[in-house]
């Protein structure tokens, strides 16, 4: 595929995910009293309403409460009912399977001040990490990870997971078995701007995962790093 068309497809996939998430919020699908599985099924049904979003099978789109502190890609051990003053991570990545992209956002139910501070910090740190990437054309995965670690610590959070994103097309693994070169991690000393092993331009998905280890909850914000 032409590189320009591929990049346009990735950006379009993210735009579609943003539209789907906005509709999920408008319909109030992530609500107390519903189970994670029920909310996930509703999001899947909504995605199937619009041909542009394509079709997808059943998946756990939502992790809430203590499940929100699990590493990205790790399946919660059981279903859970969302409560008042809860927090939930919505992963719309499976809807974008045909676009090689990923999209994660975090929602707070209720007025818990710590959780509201978290969802304010997530996009702020995401934007700061993107600025660091665009400011240095030789930036490596390890250097960007270190920058994100510093941002998280200064904001009073623990950085979740062993990586802060991955190359488009790489699995969102929650273990360290995958090649470190495909992840924004301390072990990746290669420049992020490079040609991938398949000969195509490397594009990246940035994922900021923050944890409140004391209270046992977290949040995540994922989207394209190098494309608008």
Q: Per residue, what are the HEC states of the chain? A: CCHHHHHHHHHHHHHHHHHHHHHHHHCCCCCCCCEHHHHHHHHHHHHHHCHHHCCCCCCCCEEEHHHHHCCCCCCCCCCCECCCCCEEEEECHHHHHHHCCCCEEEEECCCCHHHHHHHHHHHHHHHHHHHHHHHCCCCEHHHHHHHHHHHHHHCCCEECCCCCEEECCCCCCCCCCCCHHHECCCCCCCECCCECCCCCECCEEEEEEEEECCCCEEEEEEEECCCC
Would you put residue 208 in left (φ > 0), alpha (ψ -120 to 50) or beta? beta
Percent of the chain at pLDDT > 70 equals 88
Q: Give the pLDDT confidence of 89-110 residue by residue, as tens digits.
A: 999 876 666 666 789 999 999 9
pLDDT at 175 over 50: no
> Strands 204-212, 158-159: parallel, antiparallel or unpaired by DSSP?
antiparallel
* Domain map (residue ranges) of the chain: 3-224
Residue 30's pLDDT is 98
Residue 175, token pair as written in the block: 């273990």
What architecture is domain 3-224? Alpha-Beta Complex (3.90)
Longest pairwise C-alpha distance within the chain: 49
Q: Mean per-residue pLDDT for 41-64?
A: 77
Tokens of 23: 């509709």
Q: Hey, which residues does 204 pair with through a beta bridge?
A: 167
Q: How confident is the model at residue 198 (pLDDT cuts 50, 70, 90)?
A: confident
pLDDT band at 59 (very low <50, low <70, confident <90, very high): low
- pLDDT tens digits, residue range 108-127? 999 999 999 999 999 999 99
Which pLDDT score is estimated for 137? 96
Residue 176 has pLDDT above 50, yes or no: no
| pLDDT of 171 | 64
Reference 169, options 223, 102, 85, 89; nearest CA is 102
Whether residue 1 is predicted with pLDDT greater than 60 in this model: the reply is yes
* Lowest pLDDT segment from 43-57, 94-108, 211-225: 43-57
Nearest to 223 by CA among 52, 60, 46, 11: 11
Split at pLDDT 50, 70, 90, the class of 60 is confident
Average pLDDT over residues 143-153: 99
């Amino acid at each position: 595929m032409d590189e320009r068309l591929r990049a346009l497809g990735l950006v379009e996939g993210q735009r579609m995910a943003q539209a789907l998430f906005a509709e999920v919020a408008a319909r109030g699908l992530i609500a107390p009293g519903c189970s994670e599985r029920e909310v996930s099924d509703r999001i899947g049904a909504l995605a199937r309403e619009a041909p542009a979003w394509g079709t997808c099978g059943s998946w756990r789109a939502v992790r809430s409460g203590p499940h929100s502190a699990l590493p990205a890609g790790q399946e919660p051990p059981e279903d859970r009912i969302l409560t008042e003053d809860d927090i939930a991570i919505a992963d719309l990545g499976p809807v974008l399977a045909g676009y090689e992209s990923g999209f994660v956002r975090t929602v707070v139910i209720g007025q818990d001040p710590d959780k509201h501070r978290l969802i304010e910090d997530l996009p702020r740190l995401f934007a700061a990490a993107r600025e660091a990437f665009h400011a240095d054309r030789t930036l490596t995965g390890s250097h960007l990870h270190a920058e994100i670690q510093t941002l998280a610590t200064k904001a009073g959070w623990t950085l979740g997971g062993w990586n802060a994103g991955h190359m488009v097309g790489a699995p969102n693994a929650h273990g360290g078995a995958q090649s470190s070169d495909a992840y924004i991690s301390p072990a990746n000393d290669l420049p992020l701007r490079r040609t991938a092993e398949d000969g195509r331009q490397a594009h990246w998905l940035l994922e900021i995962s923050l944890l409140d280890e004391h209270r046992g909850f977290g949040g995540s914000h994922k989207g394209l790093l190098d494309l608008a």
